[in-house]
C-alpha cells in the first residue's frame, strides 16, 4: 500500500476491519488514538504507549503552534523526532480549541484571529497555514481547519458553519502538497441531517485521504450522537477511512464501530487516569471510593496489562489518596491499554464474523455494572 492508502479487509454487518498505510507505519482499524495534545500523552512515555498497544497518537495544532512553535519542532527534525515517537501521528487542526475561545477570537471567511490563552499574543489561522504547519511538522495525517459549533445551535448557525467548513476544506485541499502527509476533511452540520448530508457531499467531492465526523459529543444526548455518527458514516465513501472525533469510552467505541467508524480519539482514558477513574470492560469505577482501600484484587482480572499483573486496587487507591504521581501514571497506562485491547479484539471479531456476539457481550457487561455503586 502507498502512503495514506486504505484497504477494507472485512465487514461484519456495518462494522469494518481495515488497514491504513501511513508514512510512519500501518494503522490497523478500528483503532483508538490516545491524545498527546502538546507532543506528550500526559503521564506516559513512548515506551508506555507502545506497551499499551497504541499504533498512533494525536497531537494538536493549536497548542503546538503556540508552544514550542514551528521553528523549534522543524529544527528538531519534525514532530516524531522531537517527541521520540516513531509510529504515526495525526494532528487536529486546532479548530475546536480556537472556537472554544469565544471571547478571544474573531471569525471570518478568510480564517480566524485569536489571542493565545498563554500570553494573550495574537495569531491568525487560515486553511492554508494550518495545513502548511502540519505538513512542516511531518505528521502522517493532517486535519483541515473547520468550524465547530456548540449544540444546540440555530439552523442559521449550522448552515453557516457547513458553508464555511466546505469553503475552508476546498482551500486546504488546494494548498495541500500531497506528500507524505495525508489530509482529512471534517463533516459538520450539528444534528441536522440535511446539513450533514450537504457537508458530506461537498467534502467527498474533494477526494481526500479520509473523512472525519466532527461536532459531536459537544452537548447532545448519547442517543443523538450515536444516531448522527451512523447517519454520517453512511454518507462517506467505503474506500476511505472514517474518523469519529472526540469519543473514548468503552461504550462509545463499541457503538462507533457498530456505526461503521474506523478511527477514534479522546482524552478520556488519560484524563480519567489522572483523576482516579478506572476503565474496565465491565464498567468504570473511582479508586478514591472507600470500598477499594482494602481491595487486594487487580483493577480488572481479565486485563493483561502490566498494572493489573503487578498492583492491587488497594495499592492504587493508596497512591491517589496520598496524591502520589505514580498512581496517575499507572492508571492512565491501564486505561489506554483497555481501549487498545478492545480495538484489537474488535478487529479479530469482525474478521472472524463474530462481531455481533462480541458487541453484545461488551454491552451486556456494561449494562450489568449500571446502577451499581462504584
Alpha-carbon distance of 6 to 95, in angstroms, equals 25
Active site residue 252: no
Active site residue 265: yes
The single residue of 48, 92, 146, 252 carrying the catalytic annotation is 92
Instruction: Name the grid cell of 365.
Output: 457487561
Residue 125: other Cβ atoms inside 10 A = 24
Beta strands in the chain (DSSP E): 6-12, 15-22, 25-29, 31-34, 57-60, 89-92, 105-108, 111-115, 122-125, 141-143, 182-187, 210-213, 242-244, 263-266, 277-280, 283-286
| Interacting residues of 299 by C-beta distance below 8 A, sequence separation 6+ | 278, 280, 307, 308, 311, 313, 316, 331, 334
**Strand ranges across the sheet with 6-12:** 6-12, 15-22, 25-29
Would you call 24 helix, strand, or coil by DSSP?
coil
Our measurement of the distance from residue 351's CA atom to the centroid of its chain's CA atoms, rounded to an integer in Å, reads 23
The single residue of 146, 252, 255, 265 carrying the catalytic annotation is 265
- Cβ atoms 168, 187 nearer than 8 A: no
Compute the 3-state secondary structure of the chain and give helix, strand, coil in percent, each to the nearest 5: 45, 20, 35
- Cβ atoms 56, 121 nearer than 8 A: no
Preceding amide of 37 cis, omega within 30: no
Instruction: Name the grid cell of 129.
Output: 497555514
Q: Give backbone dihedrals phi and psi of 79, rounded to 5 degrees, phi first.
A: -65, -35
Instruction: Name the grid cell of 193.
Output: 441531517
Distances (CA, A) of 143 to 146, 151, 245, 369, 372: 9, 22, 11, 37, 40
Residue-wise DSSP of 128-145: HHHHHHHHHHT-SEEEPP
Q: Which residues are catalytic?
A: 92, 265
Amino acid at each position: 500500500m502507498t502512503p495514506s492508502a486504505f484497504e477494507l479487509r472485512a465487514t461484519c454487518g456495518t462494522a469494518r476491519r481495515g488497514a491504513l498505510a501511513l508514512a510512519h507505519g500501518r494503522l490497523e482499524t478500528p483503532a483508538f488514538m490516545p491524545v498527546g495534545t502538546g507532543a506528550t500523552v500526559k503521564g506516559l512515555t513512548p515506551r508506555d504507549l507502545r506497551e499499551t498497544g497504541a499504533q498512533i497518537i494525536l497531537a494538536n495544532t493549536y497548542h503546538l503552534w503556540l508552544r514550542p512553535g514551528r521553528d523549534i519542532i522543524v529544527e528538531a527534525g519534525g514532530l516524531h523526532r522531537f517527541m521520540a515517537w516513531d509510529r504515526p501521528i495525526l494532528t487536529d487542526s486546532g479548530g475546536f480549541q480556537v472556537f472554544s475561545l469565544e471571547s478571544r477570537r474573531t471569525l471570518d471567511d478568510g480564517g480566524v484571529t485569536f489571542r493565545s490563552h498563554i500570553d494573550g499574543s495574537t495569531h491568525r489561522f487560515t486553511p492554508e497555514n494550518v495545513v502548511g504547519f502540519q505538513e512542516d511538522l511531518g505528521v502522517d495525517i493532517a486535519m483541515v481547519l473547520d468550524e465547530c459549533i456548540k449544540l444546540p445551535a440555530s439552523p442559521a448557525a449550522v448552515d453557516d458553519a457547513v458553508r464555511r467548513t466546505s469553503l475552508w476544506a476546498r482551500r486546504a485541499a488546494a494548498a495541500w502538497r500531497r506528500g507524505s502527509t495525508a489530509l482529512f476533511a471534517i463533516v459538520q452540520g450539528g444534528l441536522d441531517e440535511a446539513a450533514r448530508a450537504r457537508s458530506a457531499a461537498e467534502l467527498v467531492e474533494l477526494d481526500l485521504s479520509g473523512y472525519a465526523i466532527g461536532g459531536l459529543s459537544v452537548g447532545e444526548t448519547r442517543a443523538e450522537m450515536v444516531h448522527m455518527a451512523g447517519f454520517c458514516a453512511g454518507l462517506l465513501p467505503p474506500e476511505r477511512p472514517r474518523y469519529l472525533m472526540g469519543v473514548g469510552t468503552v461504550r462509545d467505541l463499541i457503538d462507533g464501530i457498530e456505526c461503521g467508524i474506523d478511527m477514534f480519539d479522546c482524552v478520556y482514558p488519560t484524563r480519567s487516569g489522572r483523576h482516579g477513574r478506572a476503565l474496565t470492560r465491565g464498567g468504570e469505577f473511582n479508586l478514591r471510593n472507600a470500598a477499594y482501600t482494602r481491595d487486594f484484587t487487580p483493577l480488572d482480572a481479565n486485563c493483561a496489562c502490566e498494572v493489573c499483573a503487578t498492583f492491587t486496587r488497594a495499592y492504587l487507591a493508596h497512591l491517589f489518596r496520598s496524591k502520589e504521581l505514580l498512581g496517575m501514571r499507572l492508571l492512565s497506562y491501564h486505561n489506554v491499554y483497555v481501549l487498545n485491547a478492545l480495538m484489537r479484539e474488535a478487529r479479530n471479531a469482525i474478521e472472524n464474523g463474530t462481531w455481533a456476539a462480541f458487541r453484545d457481550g461488551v454491552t451486556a457487561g456494561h449494562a450489568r455494572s449500571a446502577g451499581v455503586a462504584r
